[in-house]
Amino acid sequence: MTADFRWGLIGPGRIAHRFAQALAHHGCGVLQAVASRSEQRAQAFASKYNASFVYTNYDDLFAAADVDGVYIATPHNFHFEQIAACIKAGKPVLCEKPLTVTAAQTEALIELSRSHQVFLMEALWSRFLPVYQKVDYWLSKGLIGTPRLVQSNFGFNVPRNESDRLLNPNLAGGVLLDMGVYCMSMSQWVFGRSPLSANASGIVGTTGVDELMVANLDFGQHQFAQFSCNFVSQTENSLTIYGSNGHIKVDEMFWDATSASLHLANGTVEQCNEPYAQTGFEYEIMEAERCIQAGKIESDMISHKMTLETMQWMDNLRNQLNVQYPEDR
């Protein structure tokens, strides 16, 4: 898209810097406004990225006529209320993953998006990365035969701080919503559908959130996925797709990868390196802008249905470990 598209941003924290830096890409719009309950944080962020306006009241951002879309980067538990307010104000939304805390919240927002005819998309940025376009090409050509198994890991030994958001159930902490969402969504992407059944085991810590989860997913048609996510141990954080004629490996930090390799049964190996134009967020930004300017209310790549099904299965996995949030009640 062009610089005519004007973004408003809520939640100028760590991940928001990556979004703002991605807007430097020639195909993206501009940062028009920043909103935060802390005027000091909002002003510092706006000054760094040349945003024209700062708001401490979110409603003022939602009402701003010179904001074409809103990017939400606040903690998970604030997403539902903020997205709903955006949609009711007629503002298109790109919101960080997971879209909400529960599937019921996601379903309500999808209904709101449809009734108001306002764009809504989960910012699962990995799906748009160039390396995954290459992986998609390999899969579409049937180079590894029929995909049978997807294995992925997302794990780090996170310094333990029970007051931190990651371990706080009141802030929708826990490893599945924070990290496992990538494993879940990318597995669904490979097979083009949701699983028929899923089994989870893991560790629920003293604060009541999942700190380690291992999941086995049955997609039917003799296709399966396995993943682990955790806060307690460094793992090899790659994603591998095994087929009847070889496998594809997306390198470590698979959600943030720029390289992958194709390994065929005859010993042939093909490497691909796909560096970002900016930070990697520019691809989901361009998709959102394209959809919004075309008058769409959802993206075909991250559809409402896809987001809802991911949330429904994450609810299922959490329930198996008896991890509950205030939103569940």
3-state secondary structure of 300: coil
d(CA 40, CA 48): 12
d(CA 103, CA 265): 40
> What's the one-letter identity of residue 251?
D
- Per-residue burial over 73-105, b = 16 or more CB atoms within 10 Å of its CB, e = otherwise: bbbbbbbbebbbbbbebebbbbbbbbbbbbbeb
Distances (CA, A) of 77 to 48, 177, 196: 27, 11, 28
Residues in CB range of 113: below 8 A, 6 or more apart? 87, 119, 120, 297, 298, 304
Q: Where are the beta strands (DSSP E) in 219-268?
A: 224-230, 239-243, 246-250, 259-264
Q: Catalytic residue, from 48, 88, 91, 97: name it.
A: 97
Active site residue 97: yes
Cβ atoms of residues 223 and 147 within 8 Å:
yes
d(CA 95, CA 11): 11
Q: Which H or E run includes 148?
A: strand 147-155
The residues assigned a catalytic role are 97
